[in-house]
């Protein structure tokens, strides 16, 4: 295996602030010590810390901003990748984690207490490429995609790519694979898909938030991979649909299990997500059997501890956070489609509501 080179890009921190003003009770501007302590406590209770997935970052930025406008609640969300979010949740340095992959057995066992998965939206992992002179939309089959990321197809005019794109003039350019360097739920979605459709990939690389990539250049976050693709003619990589659209990047049509070449879109993501959601909300949407479904789709979750009375947290703060998450899976869904995410299905919302009601503070349910 070649050693992954890491693209040095910093994670994006989204800090949503409100215009709340704290004043002393006596109006003198020099409050007593008790006034100062009360103000500090109030500020802490009105600020929620989160970290994790870059996959839903554009959507979360919008949701947190809109929720702040109506409630004054501040959300500091660090877009550092699903792996980082899970680590920070495990160490209890954030109020919630965010991940594009459900916790696996090892991650579950590392937690000090059980965690709850709340589905927020569904999105697509698209195969973006940089071929400046190509006017046609690239088509890819599962086999060709796996061979590119295994390093077995090295040139863009390879006969296997040409056979799928008949009549298209393909350049003799070298292919440069771009992938994530950090622990990533986006990588989990992508490698889970490849493991389902390619026996070679499954046996040689496998699936997970972090894998040993056979070839390519690593970038941190969806932002890092998108940057690598944009800066390098001949590059190909996997990123979230919103990043591709916002950066005006080309992305391929993927052949799904039904044999159809599908463009990633709200409609094709929704088709892939139209499945039963189990009670724990842990489910994979990849390699959908839906005829019109995009095959590399996935849910993304917010993760919180089931019991919230830890680290001297207040019930007030916990209630505000959970009301925000409830808003995200109900009223907040209006912001999904404009940012190219699929709104949750009715079944997913029902499961999310049920999960929220299991969260307790001192053993008592927070939300009724």
pLDDT recorded at residue 205: 98
Give mean pLDDT, residues 289-294.
Answer: 95
pLDDT recorded at residue 159: 98
Residue in this structure with the two tokens 């019991």, named with its chain if needed: 307
pLDDT recorded at residue 42: 65
For domain 125-297, give the fold: D-Maltodextrin-Binding Protein; domain 2 (3.40.190)
- The answer to whether the 5-122+300-365 and 125-297 domains have the same CATH topology is yes
The model's pTM is: 0.82
Tokens of 25: 């009770």
Note the pLDDT tens digit of each residue in 102-161: 999 999 999 999 999 999 999 999 999 999 999 899 999 999 999 999 999 999 999 999
Give mean pLDDT, residues 292-321.
Answer: 96
Report the DSSP pairing between strands 47-52 and 176-180. Answer: unpaired
Does the pLDDT value for residue 365 go beyond 60? yes
**Of 304, 315, 321, which is closest to residue 364 (Cα–Cα)?**
315
The long-range contacts involving 311-315, CB below 8 angstroms and separated by at least 24 positions, are 311/92, 313/95, 314/41, 314/45, 315/361, 315/362, 315/366
CATH number of 5-122+300-365: 3.40.190.10
174 band by pLDDT with thresholds 50, 70 and 90: very high
pLDDT recorded at residue 40: 42
Note the pLDDT tens digit of each residue in 2-11: 444 443 333 3
pLDDT recorded at residue 314: 95
The ranges assigned to domains in the chain are: 5-122+300-365, 125-297
Tokens of 366: 């927070």
């Amino acid at each position: 295996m070649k050693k992954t080179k890491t693209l040095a890009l910093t994670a994006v921190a989204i800090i949503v602030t409100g215009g709340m003003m704290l004043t002393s009770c006596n109006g003198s501007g020099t409050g007593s010590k008790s006034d100062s302590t009360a103000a500090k406590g109030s500020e802490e209770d009105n600020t929620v810390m989160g970290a994790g997935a870059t996959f839903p970052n554009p959507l979360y930025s919008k949701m947190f901003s809109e929720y702040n406008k109506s409630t004054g609640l501040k959300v500091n969300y660090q877009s550092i990748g699903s792996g980082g979010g899970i680590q920070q949740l495990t160490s209890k340095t954030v109020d919630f984690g965010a991940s594009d992959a459900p916790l696996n057995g090892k991650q579950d066992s590392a937690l000090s207490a059980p965690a709850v998965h709340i589905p927020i939206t569904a999105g697509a992992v698209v195969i973006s490429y940089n071929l400046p002179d190509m006017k046609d939309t690239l088509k890819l089959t599962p086999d060709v995609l796996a061979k590119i990321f295994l390093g077995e197809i090295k040139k863009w005019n390879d006969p296997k790519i040409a056979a799928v794109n008949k009549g298209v003039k393909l350049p003799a350019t070298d292919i440069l694979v771009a992938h994530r360097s950090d622990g990533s739920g986006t990588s989990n979605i992508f490698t889970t898909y490849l493991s389902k459709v390619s026996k070679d990939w499954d046996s040689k690389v496998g699936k997970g938030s972090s894998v040993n990539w056979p070839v390519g250049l690593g970038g941190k976050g969806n932002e890092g991979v998108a940057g690598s693709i944009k800066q390098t003619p001949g590059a190909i990589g996997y990123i979230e649909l919103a990043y591709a659209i916002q950066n005006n990047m080309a992305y391929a049509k993927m052949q799904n299990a039904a044999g159809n070449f599908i463009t990633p879109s709200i409609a094709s993501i929704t088709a892939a997500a139209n499945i039963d959601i189990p009670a724990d909300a842990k489910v994979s949407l990849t390699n959908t059997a839906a005829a019109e479904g995009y095959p590399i789709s996935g849910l993304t979750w917010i993760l919180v501890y089931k019991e919230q009375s830890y680290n001297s947290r207040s019930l007030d703060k916990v209630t505000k956070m959970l009301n925000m998450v409830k808003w995200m899976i109900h009223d907040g869904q209006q912001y999904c489609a404009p940012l190219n995410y699929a709104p949750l299905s009715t079944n997913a919302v029902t499961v999310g509501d049920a999960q929220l009601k299991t969260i307790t503070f001192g053993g008592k349910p927070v939300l009724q």
